[in-house]
A and B are shown apart, each in its own frame.
Chain A
Amino acid sequence: MIRSFLLYIDPGSGSYLIQVIIAAVLGAAFFFKNLWWKFRSFFIKPKKKSSEENDPNTP
């Protein structure tokens, strides 16, 4: 189904697949970023931090 972008459409139309793709890209980026940090921390010992900073829930 092809829609013209210039016609009136409701706010959600056509954006389903875009959001799926962006979410997948962001998910992959997040995964590789984590992998990189794990890889890095394997070779580079992290400095000792306060208990609050070590809290895994801290963003």
Chain B
Amino acid sequence: MIQTRPDGPVWSGYSRDPSGFMFKLNDQYYRQVNQIYAGNYDLLLSSGLYHELSQKKMLIRHEDVSGSVPGTPGYYKTLLPQQLPFISYPYEWSPSQLRDAGLLTLRITRMAMEKGMILKDATPFNVQFLEGRPLFIDTLSFMTYDSSQPWIAYRQFCECFLFPLYLHHYLGTGIHRLLAAWPEGIPAIHAARMLPGRSRLNAGAWMHLFLQTKIRTDNLPGGRRPSFSSGHLQRLLIHLENILQRLSTGNFSDKGWSGYYTDSILSQSYLADKERCFLELIDQLPITSALDLGANDGYFTRLMAQKNIRVVAVDAEWQCMETLYRSLSGQKPGDILPLCVDIADPTPPGGFAGTEREGFTARARAGLVAALALIHHLVLSRNIPLPALAAYFAQLASQYLIIEFVPLSDKKSQELIRNKDSYHSDYNIENFESCFSRYFQIEKRASIGDTGRVLYRMKKSVCP
């Protein structure tokens, strides 16, 4: 949770972790380290662990600004971390994103053990994505390692990373909806009930999941605790890493919209015409950030990223975002962040009092909003009225909107209204222009070949 400093205009909030908290001051995010965490913080730095992890871009970099930004009573240090352009949450990720965040968490734990430290928690909320790669952001998660003890965060790791990925492996559901239902992890007993019987034959699932539903005590009879060693823990962590690497994060047979542009494309000439129009419309735009709504496999996301625009690509279909995320590794991605978000039902705020984590709409401001081949779905299929859609896009876009109008006569539109053709009499290009003109000034129109579809560039004219 981000707090406003007590010497700022409002003091609201608390921190769940007594080690410190984040706060915002003059549009910069800072982290206060409290006295209670001083020993661990000093060890993180003196052991060389911070240096090693931040050099390898595994842990967020920070600068000690205690001299210039003193903290509240009980503070030890004030840190200015590397500022991240966009904060996303696990219930917006594709399966591979969760897996990579889990692998990062395990690797950091093993590297920390070599320096006499360990992670005290293992939640995907400690990980963000930057330039297509996961980055651990919680500098205060490290604590001194006692090699006679197992990993305190083991259960949390299983519930937050392993169980959702097992469920996806066997059921192919994606993980974002599961983690929206259980943001703090899926209890073993629930995961076990949802998994099919054949999962019990899997040794990894049996040990890490089904065993947890059987054993509910920490002690052997007589109150005795068996011994544990760092060798045991290393073996356990490597085993978890191997499992995560082997679990399927794939698309299964239900392809959803992934492949829209490559498989079911109306025609290759449509794509070529649309690309040409799109490039003309974004040429020379004075923007640095974009939101690609209904990004599909990210074809147009990449065109924007190539212009050095930082793009957050969203699509309701996790398969599309999975495909896009996978395509980012192994090539220079620019800065693309794929997220599984349904624009007709964007991520709500979350956490205690609904204030710990902002909803998607509050985070998703961008210079440019692109909505290609999207609005016919929202209007015809999801029944969102055009005026409401125009108002929402105006809320998201700070400067420009590039939007594709797909007419009612279009083959794809006709598929959507097959069973409700009397519903959408006001879905026409005149009404569309009139609704969006309330918030935007239409700068350019470009017809895409002979498809009847029109691409618009609009400039925001009034604040919503």
Contact = CB atoms under 8 A, between A and B. Distances in A.
Interface of A: 1-3, 5-6, 10-27, 30
Contacts of B411: none
B217 A12 contact: no
B215 to A, nearest CB: 6
Contacts of A10: 152
B207 A17 contact: no
B156 interface: yes
Contacts of B213: 5
Given A6-B187, A16-B225, A22 B218 contact: no
Across chains A and B, which 4 residue pairs bring their CB atoms closest together, nearest first? A23-B232, A12-B152, A11-B156, A19-B150
Interface in B146-168: 150-156
Contacts of A16: 150, 218-219, 225, 228
Interface of B: 120-122, 150-156, 187-189, 207-208, 211-213, 215-220, 225-226, 228, 232-233, 235-236, 239
Nearest to B229: A23
A3 B225 CA distance: 17
Given A16-B228, A17-B220, 6 more contacts: A5-B213, A6-B187, A11-B152, A13-B155, A18-B155, A25-B207
B232 A27 contact: yes
Contacts of A6: 187, 189
A5 B226 contact: no
8 contacts: A1-B217, A5-B188, A6-B189, A12-B150, A13-B218, A17-B217, A18-B211, A30-B235
A12 B188 contact: no
A2 B216 contact: yes
Contacts of A30: 235
Nearest to B157: A11
A26 B236 contact: yes
Contacts of A1: 217-219
A19 B232 contact: yes
B154 A15 contact: yes
A11 B122 contact: yes
Contacts of A20: 150, 226, 228, 232
A14 B217 contact: yes
